[in-house]
Amino acid sequence: MDLSQTTAMDLLNAIAAGRLSAVEVMQATLERIATVNGSANAIVALRDPDDLLAEARALDTGPNRGPLHGLPIAVKDLVNVAGIVSSQGSPIFKDHVPQKDDLIAARMRAAGAVLIGKTNVPEFGLGSHTFNQVYGATRNPYNSARTCGGSSGGAAVALATGMVALADGSDMMGSLRNPAAWNNVYGFRPSWGRVPSEPAGDGYLHQLSTLGPMARCPEDLGLLLDVISGPDPRQPYWDASPSASPVEACDMRGLRIGWLDDWGGAYPFQHGIRELCRNALDVFSQLGAKVTPVVPPFVAERIWNSWSTLRAWSVAAGLAELSEQRAALKDTAQWELDRGQALTAMQVHRASETRSEWFRCAAELFQDYDALILPSAQVWPFQIETPYPTDIAGTEMDTYHRWMEVMVPVSLIGLPCLSVPVGFGAEGLPMGMQVFGPRGSDARILSIGAAYHAATRWPQKRPA
């Protein structure tokens, strides 16, 4: 058994049945990291191997602690983990070692996972390109000269290269879906509120970012989703959707799938991306679903203006306490901070009114469709030295993140969304597309993904 490509479910079942020990899984994990992480730079702040093996040994001799018993997981470096450097990719926090786990880390630890270290991120998670002054850049395993995406880039690369079987990510503007697409793995953005955020600061106003699972198959996504989901009594909002695991492939016959393509020409794409996604739509048709093109249901520019206002407001709120250290922040963080602090209350209110209008429009649309589909990225993985794309197919980008606009219709209104792999382009680089549904349809979206995965198994394939 090649443990580096074994699913999390299979590893956990083997540990539970005594066919594998947690120590054997940990040894294989450490050997794989030693082999590939030097070039990939996906896992950072790795704990001492002897300590990790001792923790695994204690799990082997103790009672089963939960659904992740004995599984090594590297936690995204935007999350505080007790005893592990938690830098957020910022020189300001390069030596920060928390004494307490953030909520998501505590839930994974309580479920029996061994938290081995961190996965690399952009500074404060800003921008879908994983590089920072603390650890450097994480490289795409399909072409080391290209970006792996971000902000969950380290997590995606760790999965793609077999260093871990399961990973946590987070997603505001596509930070989980974009790197999943660019690394030939799956990433799931849950319904907003299903996975609680850290109970700190404001708990009412900001509803854009969410934590979520990443894996090499939808079944593993459901496993981690259930571990990190559920209400936290210190937070006012939560989604009471039923458990997602075990994820079982649905019968696609008669399923109504809507293809939004380039939103009526509103979103520019590099050559080959839309074509690859259209080929993937054929899989849905072959499985019995009815796939039809959808006329853009809402003005794209209104969605963008609402999003960019609410995002700047949210990011600036998160960075506000670092205002006096502004010069130490990267340029895009400074831009977000300045823009967010300049907003008026009425500008934020009007942006949220547009968000509410788009939510109502989408709810009506889902009366006619079981799921909608968009590409997961507008560009192929770009050169690792490039901070961000400034144009797409001749269309100039007016912000550092406009090139990710295809993610925004989902992100703005907190819909559950699965990024599924769709294969490889002419240069052998991976791509993906987003399958999303109404709030609360998380389990159904994952079951659609499971049926698609059974028919394609892209993470187990390589480009010619």
441 a catalytic residue = no
Grade residue 464 by pLDDT with cuts at 50, 70 and 90: confident
How many whole angstroms separate alpha carbon 131 and alpha carbon 128? 9
Rg of the chain's alpha carbons, rounded to an integer? 21
pLDDT at 196: 97
What is the spatial distance between Cα 183 and Cα 157, in angstroms, rounded to a whole number? Answer: 6
Q: Would the pLDDT of 1 be above 80?
A: no
| Catalytic one of 128, 175, 191, 241 | 175
| pLDDT single digits (tens) 306-317 | 999 999 999 999
Mean pLDDT, residues 318-329 taken together = 92
* CATH code for the part of the protein at 3-460: 3.90.1300.10
In order of 192, 406, 444, the CA distances from 439 in angstroms are 8, 19, 11
Domains of the chain by residue range: 3-460
Q: Please give the pLDDT value at position 240.
A: 82
Is residue 183 within 8 A of residue 160, CB to CB? The reply is yes
The catalytically annotated residue of 128, 151, 314, 441 is 151
Comparing CA positions, the residue from 229, 119, 222 lying closest to residue 175 is: 119
pLDDT above 70 as % of the chain: 100
Three-state secondary-structure class, residue 391: strand
Check whether 339 has a pLDDT greater than 90: yes
Mean pLDDT of 80-95: 98
- Tell me the per-residue pLDDT of 239-257, one tens digit each, with 9 for 90 and over: 888 899 999 999 999 999 9
Note if 151 is an active site residue: yes
Q: Is the pLDDT of residue 238 over 90?
A: no
Least confident of 66-70, 233-237, 238-242, 431-435: 238-242
Q: For residue range 99-110, what is the model confidence (pLDDT) as tens digits?
A: 999 999 999 999
Residue 319: per-residue pLDDT? 95
For 414-433, the pLDDT digits (tens) are 999 999 999 999 999 999 99
Active site residue 128: no
22-52 b/e (C-beta count within 10 Å ≥ 16 → b): bbbbbbbbbebbeebbeebbbbbbbbebeeb
Please tell me which residue in 76, 229, 308, 411 is annotated as part of the active site.
Answer: 76
